[in-house]
Amino acid sequence: MKELSYWNAISEAIAEEMKRDETVFVIGENVQESPFLVTKGLVQQFGPDRVMDAPLSELAIAGATVGAAMAGYRPICDLTFADFIYCAADEVLMKAAQQYFSHNAKVNVPCVFLGVAGAGFGNGPEHSRIPAAMVMNNPGLKLVMPSTPYDAKGLMKAAIRDNNPVCFFFHKKCMPMKQEIPDEEYIIPLGVADVKRVGSDVTVVATSYMVHLALEAAKNLEDIISVEVIDLRSLVPLDIDAIITSVKKTGRVVVVDEDTECCGVAAEIGQQIMERAFDYLDAPVARVCAANMPIAGAAMEKYVIPQLAQVQNAIEAAAGSGFSA
Amino acid sequence: MKELSYWNAISEAIAEEMKRDETVFVIGENVQESPFLVTKGLVQQFGPDRVMDAPLSELAIAGATVGAAMAGYRPICDLTFADFIYCAADEVLMKAAQQYFSHNAKVNVPCVFLGVAGAGFGNGPEHSRIPAAMVMNNPGLKLVMPSTPYDAKGLMKAAIRDNNPVCFFFHKKCMPMKQEIPDEEYIIPLGVADVKRVGSDVTVVATSYMVHLALEAAKNLEDIISVEVIDLRSLVPLDIDAIITSVKKTGRVVVVDEDTECCGVAAEIGQQIMERAFDYLDAPVARVCAANMPIAGAAMEKYVIPQLAQVQNAIEAAAGSGFSA
Amino acid sequence: MKKLGKQDLLLMYRNLVRTRKFDELNIRMATEGKLLTFYHSCQGHEAIGVGACTGLRKDDYLYPHHRGHGLSYAIAKGVNPRECIAEHLGRATGWGGGITGFHTCVPEFGILGVGATIGSGFVLSVGFALAAKKRGEGQITIMFTGDGGIQRGQFHEAANMASVWKLPVVWVVENNQMAWFTPYRDTSAVEDIATLAASYNMPGEIVDGMDVLAVHTAVQKAVERARSGEGPSLIECKTYRYRSHSEGRPDVSHYLPRSKEEIAKWKERDPVKLFEEKLLKEKVLTKALIQKISQECDAEAEEAETFGFESPFPDPSNLSKMVYAP
Amino acid sequence: MKKLGKQDLLLMYRNLVRTRKFDELNIRMATEGKLLTFYHSCQGHEAIGVGACTGLRKDDYLYPHHRGHGLSYAIAKGVNPRECIAEHLGRATGWGGGITGFHTCVPEFGILGVGATIGSGFVLSVGFALAAKKRGEGQITIMFTGDGGIQRGQFHEAANMASVWKLPVVWVVENNQMAWFTPYRDTSAVEDIATLAASYNMPGEIVDGMDVLAVHTAVQKAVERARSGEGPSLIECKTYRYRSHSEGRPDVSHYLPRSKEEIAKWKERDPVKLFEEKLLKEKVLTKALIQKISQECDAEAEEAETFGFESPFPDPSNLSKMVYAP
Ligand SMILES: Cc1ncc(C[n+]2csc(CCOP(=O)(O)OP(=O)(O)O)c2C)c(N)n1
Ligand SMILES: Cc1ncc(C[n+]2csc(CCOP(=O)(O)OP(=O)(O)O)c2C)c(N)n1
Ligand SMILES: [Mg+2]
Ligand SMILES: [Mg+2]
């Protein structure tokens, strides 16, 4: 066992997979130095042909990723900020997602689109999104959003080995988090949620950094409400069974997701819960998401992004009056 | 009164607004001849400086639209296929949506993004989407999806006069539909749903061409189930009050939308209904949407896109066993 | 460059005729309402695909232009064009399995798939070429697009990246001087697309797109350059679109009918006729052989039509299994 | 071209100094942890914004580069730079109202707003220029970007469109030879960005970006061309980034430290010093005046800092009202 930070867990996963499989390579802007650290150190180990500093050309970077994947490689494309998926939407949301299906499953597209995501540093509307719903609304793409170093490493290895394009959005606010990581290899399959806290009164379904907010809220409320926190880890595939199992136990759900509320992740999960467990619901599924506006920066960011108090309030409201202190 | 087709109603609205307001102009690929007819005939009336055939450059077309809008004009940008929003996502989903907010409401972006949308002609995955949820997931954009010639004309006039960027997606399958159009000017404000059929057992919330499917299903079922059909007309703003009023009456809802199901329009509406009218719901909100896959073309399209039978089945299921014939 | 022998020339001629006949079949099926989606005729363009793809290695990557939905390119590479007909009829035997009705994908012949947004082949082909370079087995990538496609930003980014990384890719632009209803001259700042090559420090050549041998020669030069690790090339083939953008659409320039004289003038230099006359003069072809080839191609097209109509539709229950690879 | 008088030269000098002082203030605030988001120093780049924006009409549209988050451009156009400081402190008095912490928007001075994706100014500026051309009042648009920005597809599409429509726009590329950690020479197929202009049939000029007058002269020529309806121009200013990409980031090329010698060499031709020496020699400046200006600018920066810290934060209850215009 060794202690690794979130970013280091990701870079270790990439390094291990690059060692194991010569077809894995990294392409993107500034990936050799890696401003968000997840590919830092790789160039020294694997050389510039496998850790490729590209021009400032998102269309070409993402397009080359899709093309190289179709031609038998397993590129890891660093989009830098996840928001830059907008700058290559044709390539990522359309081409990567659809090439396999459109061509009768003859040619698959095994690649990873890395993006640092989320708010927390006041970087403003074009550098703070988690464009999760946009990815989910385009079938053919998988989507991973790890909340811990342990999960990040195991999920990254699964993402690289997956035979499909996988968006891997890691959260800015998780970067410094540390955790014990086993020395032996492990892989966390995509599509398996993790119950990060067991509880019986209210289910909180959370993604990415919001898992930590949910855990904090659960802890703050533990004397009055028993909160179960489910970390989805991957959104596509979605472990709806894990959610439904919990909902059947608690009958009360709050979905906490940092993506924009409207047509976001939480709406999909809420709707699916309603479809599958309507009779178990004691209260409507509540959602705590980014407000329906661009992600303001600087001092205004916190008025757009879910805050602890909101999560707590939503849990209390879901629990109903019987639980208030 | 005169009878106009859907496309002609749209082009008449554009012509009237171009006459009324010199700052309105059309920009896009092939807008002078207009493959989907909605800007056909305008160049003869207003000249090539106001009906601008652009290079095959979606980034520049959409970007120039946003820029000209910021600088005091009211461009109508024809994306041709609504799917091509992927080819200018940075410009439409990010810049158009956010410029006003990011700059403290100092400069607004009054423009219209036109796109012919939806399936029906087997055109395959890159020419058949209605990227409605992607628009809704990016606050700052408005979204209009008319189902009839009358609505199309009145909504187009409102869209052009709106001080915000408005995506106006008109449906391929509505193109030949005809309707009596008043000679006098009229405007249909954005954000006002239209009850296209009054009923008391089940509420069907529908968008765009799906309204016609819903009406047909309602008619087929009229002897056993009284179906209310709400045509949303605009999705942003969303007339949630109209939906809730109906839901309180029926307690049973089916949302029929042609966008991809996952994180789509129907999930958002379902979730909002749950949040606001949970105690009125006798059954979970059901959704009938495009299946979670790319929109197959040719003969396979119909297996992806909602069909009449599915809508009917969903209504019957929502109505519950008491209603079956 | 490998010198073309008599058999090569005859094969090229036959492939021109096959392309034309299959295009005519597609047009007829479209006119009869039998195609399940749109059709973009390649008449006038045949020499480009045939000239460029003759002599490629089977494992070279090919990204075809949308005209003919890939006919001339695939034919010259060796693919059986009946798969094209089946695709257009939405059949499981089509070269995209009938899933989209027009996408081409024949991995055994290096055709990995296409996109339906014009110009996006630029960036995908950079990826194919990057893979080829990494693999180091001398494969090259050839990608075709139109005078419209070159106007997308994808071109700029792809050309720069491919040049910097010296990727083995050849870009062939079929400048038919129209993009849908819009004439190139009114949407482009420069007369010749080949001019753009200078911005990326790569060769840019203008070729008579009606002359199959001229195309072949220019492309082979670029292919050799690519194979030997010297990087990308841009080749502009001047050509002309005989028919409307797609079947059933008006044939206008902006909003006025295209000049009948101009079309007629270009047809005088029809690529099939031009090559036929040359081979006749050089006695590679005879009148009798021309007729024989014509009949054989007619028969092949007829067989392809039957094949298409007799082929099954895809099994819709497979669709949901094709969203994600196992 | 209007000849610059002594007062103009002095103003340009003062604006160079102001830019430098305000940049230093931003750096200090960043270092002290007072800025609410990132900061990209413009040291080394000052002559470009100041030289280019001096002499513009107030109603000309300006799209600044991100360095200094718009300082040199806005200052030369007449905007009070304390709004920049307030913005970086997230205050309502900032030039973006403190909503993002770094976006610049001063419509009264033709600055309509910026985007945060590099290079997207190309297409927005086409829109500004299109509006200006339609309005017919002789406004031009000037847009600044970096050697990275030019690599985005937006450039290609914008340049072609602007040239075809003869739009009044001037594109100034600040080639500091780095984009974040990546050196230009390793990501570009051509040595000079000005080369790219030929693809769009527009003038492309290389200018010494450390020489404020050289920049001014080249830009004025392009501005006149734009104003007289002849279309766009591309101007490449060779310059250098003194500091790391943004404050607190490592200063590397790929992953190795940038050459200290190279930085020192460029600093010998520091744009502020260079102009100062020239004006001293020409007796437009005196040592005393230099000191006076320096002190005045220090005072102005100090006042701006106070102004910033004393300004209120935006009212968060307004946010939801700002998503849609009434
Ligand atoms: C990105 C994108 N924009 C627009 C279209 C619609 N479209 C299809 S073909 C075409 C014209 C293409 O012109 P060109 O590249 O010159 O090829 P040609 O059809 O003339 O052979 C257009 C505009 C598209 N499919 N993709
Ligand atoms: C589309 C896009 N890609 C990447 C980034 C991240 N980024 C911000 S500044 C920058 C470097 C820009 O380089 P250049 O244009 O040369 O300007 P410089 O910073 O050198 O002045 C990058 C890569 C971005 N903001 N937008
Ligand atoms: Mg063309
Ligand atoms: Mg730079």
The per-residue pLDDT for range A144-161, each reduced to its tens digit, is 999 999 999 999 999 999
Which residues on B lie below 8 Å from D153 (Cβ)?
59
The band of A321, judged by pLDDT with boundaries at 50, 70 and 90, is low
For residue B321, what pLDDT is reported?
Answer: 58
User: What is the overall mean pLDDT for chain A?
Assistant: 97
**Which ligand lies nearest the alpha carbon of D246?**
2
Q: What is the distance between the alpha carbons of residues B229 and B194, in angstroms, rounded to a whole number?
A: 9
Instruction: Give the nearest partner residue to A70 out of C100, C113, C164, using CB atoms.
Output: C113
State whether residue B191 sits within 8 Å of chain D by CB: no
Pocket of ligand 1, candidates B56, B59, B79, B83: which has the most ligand atoms within 8 Å of its Cβ, to mutate?
A: B56
Residue D134, chain B, CB below 8 Å: the answer is: yes
Over residues D215-228, the mean pLDDT reads: 98
| Whether the predicted pLDDT of A322 surpasses 60 | no
Q: May I ask the CATH architecture of the domain B194-319?
A: 3-Layer(aba) Sandwich (3.40)
Each residue's pLDDT tens digit, B182-218: 999 999 999 999 999 999 999 999 999 999 999 999 9
Residue range D91-138, pLDDT digits in tens: 999 999 999 999 999 999 999 999 999 999 999 999 999 999 999 999
For chain A, domain boundaries: 2-181, 194-319
Task: Give Dmax over CA atoms of chain D in angstroms.
Answer: 57
Q: pLDDT tens-digit profile of D237-291?
A: 999 999 999 999 999 999 999 999 999 999 999 999 999 999 999 999 999 999 9
| Domain B2-181 class, CATH top level | alpha beta
Ligand nearest to the CA of A115: 2
Q: What is the pLDDT of residues A204-241, one digit of tens each?
A: 999 999 999 999 999 999 999 999 999 999 999 999 99
**Chain B residues close to D127, C-beta within 8 Å:** 63-71, 75
Residue C319 domain-assigned (yes or no): no
- pLDDT (tens digit per residue) in C233-285: 999 999 999 999 999 999 999 999 999 999 999 999 999 999 999 999 999 99
**Is it the case that residue B150 has pLDDT exceeding 80?**
yes
Ligand 2 pocket test target in A36, A56, A80 with most atoms within 8 Å of CB: A56
By CB neighbour count within 10 A (0-12 exposed, 13-18 middle, 19+ buried), where does B245 fall?
middle
Question: How does residue C2 score in pLDDT terms, banded at 50, 70 and 90?
Answer: confident
Q: Are C139 and C61 in contact (CB under 8 A)?
A: yes
What is D257-277 written as a DSSP string?
Answer: EPPHHHHHHHHTT-HHHHHHH
Confidence at residue A325, expressed as pLDDT on a 0 to 100 scale: 43
pLDDT tens across B6-29, in order? 999 999 999 999 999 999 999 999
Task: Taking residues C154-158, report their average pLDDT.
Answer: 98
Given this model, what pLDDT does residue D3 score?
86
* C-alpha of residue C49 to centroid of ligand 3, in Å: 15
Provide mean pLDDT across the span B79-100.
98
Task: Tell me the three state secondary structure of residue D248.
Answer: coil
State how far the alpha carbon of D240 is from the alpha carbons of A15, A32, D40, in Å.
34, 21, 13
Can you tell me the distance from the alpha carbon of B126 to that of B312, in angstroms, rounded to the nearest whole number?
A: 28
Interface check for C160 against chain D (CB to CB < 8 A): the answer is yes
Distance A206 CA to ligand 4 centre (A): 39
In which domain, by residue range, is D127 found?
Answer: 6-247+265-313
Are A2-181 and A194-319 equal in CATH topology?
yes
Position C137 in a domain: yes
Q: What is the pLDDT of residue A227?
A: 98
pLDDT digits (tens, 9 = 90+) for D36-92: 999 999 999 999 999 999 999 999 999 999 999 999 999 999 999 999 999 999 999
Q: Is B171 a catalytic residue?
A: no
* Band (D183; pLDDT cuts 50, 70, 90): very high
Six-digit token pair at C247?
């079947």
Report the mean per-residue pLDDT for chain C: 97
Residue type present at position B290: A
- Please determine, for residue A323, whether its predicted confidence score (pLDDT) is greater than 90: no
Query: Residue B324 — very low, low, confident or very high, per pLDDT cuts 50/70/90?
Result: very low
Residue A311: pLDDT band with limits 50, 70, 90: very high
| C172 CB near ligand 1 (under 6 Å) | no
pLDDT of residue C288: 98
Closest CA to ligand 1's atom 1 = C117
pLDDT at D206 over 60: yes
Average pLDDT, integer, range C202-217: 98
* Three-state secondary structure of chain A: CEEEEHHHHHHHHHHHHHHHCCCEEEEECCCCCCCCCCCCCHHHHHCCCCEEECCCCHHHHHHHHHHHHHCCCEEEEEEEEHHHHHHHHHHHHHHHHHHHHHCCCCCCCCEEEEEEECCCCCCCCCCCCCCHHHHHCCECEEEECCCCHHHHHHHHHHHHHCCCEEEEEEEHHHCCCEEEECCCCCCCCCCCCEEEECCCCEEEEECCCHHHHHHHHHHHCCCCCCEEEEECCEEECCCHHHHHHHHHHHCCEEEEEEEECCCCHHHHHHHHHHHHHHHHCCCCCEEEEECCCCCCCHHHHHHCCCCHHHHHHHHHHHHCHHHCC
Which chains share 3+ C-beta pairs under 8 angstroms with C? A, B, D
If you search the block for the tokens 């970006």, which residue do you land on? D209
Contacts of D96 in chain B (CB under 8 A): 102-104
Subunits adjacent to chain D (3 or more Cβ pairs under 8 Å): A, B, C
- For ligand 1, the distance from its centroid to the CA atom of residue B176, given in whole angstroms, is 25
- Whether B116 lines ligand 1, by a CB cut-off of 6 Å, is no
A176 touches chain D (CB under 8 A): no
Residue B278 predicted with pLDDT over 60:
yes
pLDDT at B297 over 70: yes
Q: How far is the CA of D179 from the centre of ligand 1 (A)?
A: 33
Give residue C292's pLDDT.
Answer: 98
Does the CB atom of residue D68 touch ligand 2 within 6 A? no
pLDDT band of residue C3 (cuts 50, 70, 90) is: confident
SS3 B64: helix
Across all residues in chain B, what is the average pLDDT?
Answer: 97
**For residue D119, which residues of chain C lie inside 8 Å, CB to CB?**
none
pLDDT at residue A324, rounded to an integer: 47
Write down the ipTM of this complex: 0.98
Q: Decide if pLDDT at C202 tops 90.
A: yes
CB atoms within 10 A of CB C291: 10
Task: List, for residues D253-262, the tens digit of each pLDDT value.
Answer: 999 999 999 9
Instruction: Give the minimum alpha-carbon distance from A268 to chain B in angstroms, rounded to a whole number.
Output: 5
Q: What is the CATH number of the domain that holds C230?
A: 3.40.50.970
Q: What is the pLDDT of residue B182?
A: 97
State pLDDT tens for residues C115-145. Answer: 999 999 999 999 999 999 999 999 999 999 9
- State whether residue B262 sits within 8 Å of chain C by CB: no
- pLDDT given at position A180: 97
pLDDT of D32 strictly over 60: yes
Amino acid making up residue B284: P
Select the residue of D153, D164, D190 nearest C199 (Cβ to Cβ): D190
Residue B285's pLDDT band (cuts 50, 70, 90): very high
Ligand 1: residue of C39, C180, C247 to mutate (most ligand atoms within 8 A of CB) is C180
Query: Minimal CA–CA distance to B194: which of B146, B157, B227?
Result: B146
- Indicate which residue's Cα is closest to atom 21 of ligand 2: D146
For range A83-97, the mean pLDDT: 98
- Residues ≥6 apart with Cβ < 8 Å to B31: B39, B42, B43, B51, B52, B53, B54, B78
Alpha-carbon distances, residue B318 vs B202, B228, B268, B287 (angstroms):
7, 13, 18, 10
Indicate whether C254 belongs to any domain: no
Identify which of C54, C38, C57 has the alpha carbon closest to the alpha carbon of residue C46: C54
**What is the percent of chain D where pLDDT is above 90?**
99
Q: What is the count of structural domains for chain D?
A: 1
Amino acid at C40: H
Chains that touch B (3 or more CB pairs under 8 A): A, C, D
On whether residue C253 sits in a domain, the answer given is no
* Residues above pLDDT 70, as percent of chain D: 100
Beta bridge partners of A228: A203
Q: Is the CB of A80 under 6 A from ligand 2?
A: yes
Confirm or reject: Cβ of B56 under 6 Å from ligand 1: yes
Assess if residue C116 is contained within a domain.
Answer: yes
